[in-house]
Every structure is written in C-alpha cells, then in structure tokens.
Structure 1
Amino acid sequence: AELAPAISVLQLFCSSPKAALRFAAVRTLNKVSMKHPNAVMSCNVDLEKLITDSNRSIATLAITTLLKTGAESSVERLMKQISSFVSEISDEFKIVVVDAIRSLCSRYPRKHAVMMPFLANMLRNDGGYEYKKAIVETIIAIVEENPDAKTAGLAHLCEFIEDCEHDSLATRVLHLLGREAPKTPNPSSYIRFIYNRVILESTKVRAAAVTALAKFGAQCAELRPSIQVLLKRCLLDSDDEVRDRATFYLALLAGATVPVINTFVLDSLQVSLLALS
C-alpha cells in the first residue's frame, strides 16, 4: 500500500515520449520487482508495450521486470523476445537478464528446461568477468535447487571450463563438479573434463582439479583405480601445491577407512577465518 502512489507515478512515466523518463521508470520498477513483484504487477500492461521500444535498454528492463511479475505461461514468449536482441545489449543489461532468470527459476522451477539452453548460449558468447560470473552462479543455483536440471547444468559448465579465461570461475565449477557429479547416473563422463584442467590450466585450477578428482575416487568405488592412476600422474606436476594434494589424496584413497576419507576429502574444512586473520 505504501508503494502504490510511487508505482502509479512510475506507471505514467512508462508512456512518456521522453526516452530518459521511460528508462528511469522501468529501471526503478525493475529494482522494486526484485523485492515486491506483486506491487509492480499493476504495471504489466504498460511494460508489455515497452517490450518493442526502440531503445534496447528500455526493452530489456521491461522484459526482465515482466519475467519477475508475469504469469508462468508468458515465460517462453518473453524469452523468445529477448533472445532476438540480447547480443546487442551491454554486459550491464545482460546481467540484469541473468538475474531475472535466476529469480524466475526460483518461482517456477519447472521452467529450468527453457532457461538452461538460453543461459548456456549466453555463456558461449563474449563478455566480461562479472557477466560470466552471474551466468555461472545462476546455473549453479538452478542445479542445486532442481535435481532434474543437474545433468544438463553440469554438462554446460563442463563445456564452459574447457575454454574459461577466469581462474576463480573455473575453480568454482570444479568444486561443484567434485561435489555433485559423482552422484549422477554416469559420473565417469565428467572425468575427462576435470583431468584436462590438470594438463592445461594455471596452478590454482590444477590444484582444484586434483581435489575434484579425489572426490570422485572417494564416492565412486568403481572409478577409484582410474582416479588413482590420474592422481599418480599429478605427482610429476611442477607446482608444490598440486603435488602435495595428489600425494595426500593418494595416501587416503589407498589405505584410509571410509570415515577418514569422508572427513578429509568430502567434508568441508571448518576453518575460522577470524583466527586465520
């Protein structure tokens, strides 16, 4: 109720002949819709008219606002509309699109089948770190929230790390693969993507890949011999961290009990950041 007067004024601005006013109105409505989508629903008719606005930024904000406030049945139509010009907008507005998709998948989990290919296509296109990070985190969120989306999401992320320029994103994906991929119907299909990182990448990524491989060995008994062979190859790595991790995990997988393996390979280390600082 407190928002109603402000929403009414913004609604009027949506039909202004001045592009600056339309942009300001739809951008504000977009931000409001993140926390109060129901309050913005009264503007949906006006936002629909802005979908075809000649200003791509205004059209993008209108569509992403409608993704947060509109009906589930309108999702496919809106995604088709935005896919026609998403390559023409800046990274800033692409991130707005990604954030809207993340919000949408939380509201309508069944829509992940529509969203995942769209996100994967965006991930293949050129873009800066923040843009790629937003997509990766959205795919990870969908994978974690929707078991049905796991196989497709992990496959897209495997493809992404094959040609990833950002170490922090590659290590994030490797961590997810080590945690989630061993629980999939065909865990062996992910090993090649992970081991390629040991061969081709920077020190940080190689170390993360070694840990991911060890998690497969810890959780998949049938893959353990193959994982041990790969970890032995890592003993020849030029970096101390990679060699030390490989040595540590090999010793555990060769002779430790299941509880010990779980503690040191699978469980997150409980470290106090305050104590470290």
Structure 2
Amino acid sequence: QTDEPGGELTPSTTIDQRAVQQLALFTEPNVDGNTLIGYDLRPRFLHTRASKVLKLSEYEDRGDKLFELEDGTVYAIQPAVLDRGKTKVAIFPGTRESLVEEAIVGFGKQGEFNPATGRAGYVYDSSGLKVFFTLYQLYSTMAKSKKQYNYRELYEALRVLKQAGHYTGTQQDFGDGKLRQADGYGSYISDLVFVDHDTPDEESVKVDKFICVYLNREATKLILDGKYKLYDEELSMEMKSPIARYLYKKMIQQMPYNPDNIASAMMVLKQNAIILQSG
C-alpha cells in the first residue's frame, strides 16, 4: 500500500475483514465441502488410460495436451518436467493429482492451522492463502477413500501440481504455421514448501515438518469472493470414475436448487462433450 500517488510501496499487514468472513464460511464446521465455480469444471487433468509420463524428447515432439470444446474455447495442459532417477520426464497431471488437489481443499476447510495441535488447516495472511498438512495426513486421507498411493507417489503428485500448468484462451500462429498458446500458463498451486515444526517431540504432533501449499491466485480469489458451492469432497474422492466426479461438481455448480421439488430439476448433457470436458 502507499499513502500517496507514486509513493513507495510497503507490504500491508491488514487483512480485509470481508475476506476473513469468507474464510470463516469456507471452513464452517457444519458444511460438507467446497467446489470452486468454473475452475473445477475445466479440463485441467488427464484421465485417459494412456500413460501420463513421457520421455522429455517425446513431450518435445508432441507438445502440450490441447482440448477444443464445442464453443470454440481452447484449453491446454502443460506437464511438469521432473527427474526420475537419472532421466528427465514430462508428467501430465492426472487422476492422482486431481485427488490430491481435492484432499488439499478438504484440509483447508478444517479451519485455521495451529501447529500446536498438528491438525491440517489454512493460514491467510498478506502472502496469500496457504494450506498446511503432513504427508501422513495426505496418505491417510487418500487411503480412507480407497486410493492407495505411497509417500513417494504423493510427494511427486505435489511437485506435479506445483510445476504443471493449465491454460484457457485462443491459439496464435507466430509465423511458422504452428498454433501456440498466446498467453502464459497458471500452475495448480503457487508454491510448495516444508515448514519446520519447532517442537516435534510433543506427544500430539509426531512430525518435524509440515507441508505448506500456497493456493494459486485464481483459486484464492474465488474462495475469498465466495465463488464456490458446497459439496462432499470425501464422497467425491470415493467415486471410482473421474467422469462421475466431474458430473458431481457440474450438477452442484449448475443445477438450480429447489428443495421443495427436487424432481423438477433437469440438466441436459452431451456424452461426447462431457467426456472431453472431464479430461
């Protein structure tokens, strides 16, 4: 903030009270969960049976995964480039990463994070919206939903969420006859850091580090603006089909809620469009 035009910018430690109220609603204990309007319905993950992992040379030949929907909107998914042993590979975010993202949102709705208790939760300050949890908590949440991933796989999924990107917009020919994305990509999470726990010997917290995930700016803004609807992320994670999870969020976001006459609610779906939109 600055006191006058052209003045020096200084960090603001004041938190918008409206944002605090939204966060309280976002983590109200009596609600089921949260789905971000629009953001959660984009084709941001690949759920095909084909491998999500390519050799770097293969990815350089093929490029990003592109989706063009019926309305002409173009989406693209960019992989994370990581080391597996001595080999660099391109890993596209898939079902594993989508489930981890849901678990992170579930951790955030548990309330404000308190390192003394070790319970997962969120922190909102001048640096943005962050979610704290342990790798064991992530493993347990996934196992509870019958999604079996070991610690190495879950840590890799977090790195993919940090480095991979998604894009929506138009394509542009830069002079070589090839269509490319004209704008930048947004990562799924802005940052991933490990935070030391000062007193790991406490009986209640048997861990010396917490994982801190910074939600990306778009997701943070949607949460603070109240652009989400309630859903049960545990139920969603238990669904075996990614298409079923997509339809669950789509119906909650787009179907009118009429508690007095549920039978009157109707949504027309196109099979091929849904398969494409869900990734």
Q: Return the structure number with greater relative CO, CA threshold 8 A, min gap 6.
A: 2
| TM-score of the two chains, using structure 2 as the length reference | 0.19
| TM-score of the two chains, using structure 1 as the length reference | 0.19
More helix by share: 1
More strand by share: 2
Greater CA radius of gyration, 1 or 2? 1
